[in-house]
């Protein structure tokens, strides 16, 4: 990248993501002492693996990357189909085992591939103008090709949380593409009218989670156990936390899984309200900068990619923090850059690389405005 591109680059998104990753490492170091710091060490390894992906996503023009999104989309759909035939882990078929190194979750990588492919398809459909998406047949093509297949396959795993992350990202992409307000109103009305039908047809495990969310004490030793322990951990930390290696829920094994879904609870218990508050502020900065990058991108493709990434980051942050505090139902959604997970970490740093890429190539006039 030349000096002009480096000067335009929104380095704040990289700095914030590295700070979040560092906080996550500290929490993992404390949470994994009983396992000889196994997941902490693996997270460091995954971070090293992520660096080349971050650099490539940053330096290769995103318009070039998007040209390969069709092939990547076909491959990831194949992987999402193949993973359904793997051995279930905790009742879900989401992971491929990679020897002793860990597991690979294709739905994580699918998020950014689907965003890239959606940007590519939407741009093709709108060659005659941004309002072309309001032609019902073009909107239908976009939904059928780019949206429905990955969401349907992820629901089969089952992984409702990740499916919702796709829906949020794709909805924001459609919104910034110039969709007419009448479609938004119609979609909201249909969603409200079909709410009871959707709820009555949710799988049993999803219904149990909603019921437990509404009243955890109905099953305190079963489905309500995790949310109760999580709220106890967050509350016990108070302002300054109980200290690293000193959290009762964390160190005595009451939180599960404490390195992924409930890492925020670990931080709340051992590092306290101040650090958890800083984490929330960092996410707000990251998401705000992402929206700004989408707004100032030099072309529609850049805007679509950036807002799609913003949607993914926002949903993961809100859902993970919300569920650990008892404000939202529990889903297997990791906290970006903080939770343990190789697939998630690589995908998140690819997202950061793309944001740096898009911001670097902004038109100067738009950038100044």
CA–CA separation, 109 and 103 (whole Å): 13
CA–CA separation, 38 and 241 (whole Å): 24
Q: Of 344, 316, 337, give the one whose Cα is nearest residue 105.
A: 344
Q: How much is the pLDDT for 347?
A: 94
Q: How much is the pLDDT for 227?
A: 86
Q: How much is the pLDDT for 367?
A: 34
Q: How much is the pLDDT for 96?
A: 83
pTM over 0.85: yes
Each residue of 78-117: pLDDT tens digit? 999 998 888 887 777 887 887 766 778 898 999 999 999 9
Q: Which range is least confidently modeled, 8-12, 73-77, 200-204, 315-319? A: 200-204
CB atoms within 10 A of CB 329: 19
Helix (H) / strand (E) containing 233: helix 225-237
Cα dihedral sign, 150-285-13-332: negative
Helix (H) / strand (E) containing 217: none
Each residue of 335-365: pLDDT tens digit? 999 999 888 999 999 999 999 999 998 864 3
Q: How much is the pLDDT for 88?
A: 80
The encoded tokens of residue 204 equal 């049993």
Each residue of 16-60: pLDDT tens digit? 999 999 999 999 999 998 888 889 999 999 999 999 999 999 999
The percent of residues above 90 in pLDDT, for the chain, comes to 46
Each residue of 279-309: pLDDT tens digit? 999 999 999 999 999 999 988 899 999 999 9
Would you place residue 366 in the very low, low, confident or very high pLDDT band (cuts 50, 70, 90)?
A: very low
pLDDT at 222 over 90: no
CA–CA separation, 238 and 253 (whole Å): 20
Would you place residue 129 in the very low, low, confident or very high pLDDT band (cuts 50, 70, 90)?
A: low
Contact indicator for 151, 166 with CB cutoff of 8 Å: yes
Could you tell me whether strands 96-98 and 102-104 are parallel, antiparallel, or unpaired per DSSP bridges?
A: antiparallel
Q: What are phi and psi of 96, to 5 degrees?
A: -100, 135
DSSP three-state, residue 179: coil
Contact indicator for 132, 138 with CB cutoff of 8 Å: yes
CA–CA separation, 251 and 29 (whole Å): 12
Each residue of 134-180: pLDDT tens digit? 788 888 888 888 889 999 999 888 888 888 999 999 999 988 888 88
CA–CA separation, 81 and 259 (whole Å): 28
Q: How much is the pLDDT for 1?
A: 61
């Amino acid at each position: 990248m030349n000096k002009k591109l480096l000067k335009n680059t929104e380095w704040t998104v990289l700095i914030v993501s590295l700070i979040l990753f560092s906080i996550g490492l500290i929490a993992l170091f404390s949470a994994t002492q009983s396992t000889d710091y196994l997941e902490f060490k693996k997270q460091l390894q995954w971070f090293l693996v992520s660096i080349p992906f971050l650099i490539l996503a940053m330096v290769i023009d995103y318009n070039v990357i998007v040209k390969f999104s069709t092939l990547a989309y076909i491959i990831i759909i194949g992987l999402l189909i193949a993973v359904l035939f793997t051995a279930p882990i905790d009742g879900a078929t989401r992971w491929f085992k990679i020897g002793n190194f860990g597991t690979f979750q294709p739905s994580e990588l699918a998020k950014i591939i689907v965003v890239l492919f959606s940007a590519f398809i939407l741009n093709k459909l709108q060659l005659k103008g941004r309002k072309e998406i309001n032609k019902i047949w073009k909107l239908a093509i976009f939904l059928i090709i780019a949206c429905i297949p990955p969401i349907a396959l992820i629901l089969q795993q089952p992984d409702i949380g990740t499916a919702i992350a796709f829906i949020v990202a794709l909805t924001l992409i459609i919104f910034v593409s110039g969709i007419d307000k009448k479609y938004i109103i119609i979609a909201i009305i249909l969603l409200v009218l079909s709410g009871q039908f959707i709820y009555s047809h949710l799988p049993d495990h999803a219904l149990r989670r909603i019921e437990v969310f509404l009243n955890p004490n109905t099953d305190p030793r079963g489905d309500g156990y995790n949310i109760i322990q999580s709220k106890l951990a967050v509350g016990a930390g108070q302002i300054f936390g109980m200290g690293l290696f000193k959290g009762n829920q964390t160190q005595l094994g009451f939180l599960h899984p404490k390195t992924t879904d409930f890492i925020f609870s670990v931080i709340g218990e051992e590092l306290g309200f101040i650090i958890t508050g800083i984490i929330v502020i960092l996410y707000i900065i990251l998401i705000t900068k992402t929206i700004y990058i989408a707004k100032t991108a030099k072309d529609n493709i850049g805007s679509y990619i950036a807002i799609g990434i913003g949607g993914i980051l926002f949903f993961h942050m809100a859902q993970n923090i919300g569920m650990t505090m008892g404000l939202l139902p529990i889903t297997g959604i990791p906290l970006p850059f903080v939770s343990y997970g190789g697939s998630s970490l690589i995908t998140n740093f690819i997202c950061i690389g793309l944001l740096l890429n898009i911001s670097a190539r902004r038109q100067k006039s738009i950038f100044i405005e």
